[in-house]
Amino acid sequence: MALEIYWTKRADKKFDKIIEYLLNEWDENVAKAFIKKVYDFLDILTDFPKIGTIENKGKGIRGFTIVKQINVFYRISGNRIILLNFFNNRQNPKKKRF
């Protein structure tokens, strides 16, 4: 049974910022490729929600590397997968916010 994807405001804003950065610093093709990777991952995630590694066992937070620079963090709640945040791996790891 496929689960439903829910985007938090933080995840939505961070995703938009990443796309904006890619459009400004690279080009439309790079941005489109990243968007495709994210949505391909989300398609897989709905069928295999435990694909990500456990990042915070107590809170049930999992993470997955979309591209080597960007991780996505999520948790499973009932029949929903809640996308919590996208994280640029070049940042200080202490800045991770779930």
The answer to pTM > 0.85 is yes
Q: What does the pLDDT read at residue 2? A: 82
Tens of pLDDT, residue by residue over 38-88, are 999 999 999 999 999 999 999 999 999 999 999 999 999 999 999 999 998
CB 59 within 8 A of CB 75: yes
Q: Residue 24 pLDDT > 70, yes or no?
A: yes
Domains of the chain, each with CATH number or no CATH:
4-90 (3.30.2310.20)
Using alpha carbons, select from 55, 94, 90 the residue that is nearest to residue 76: 55
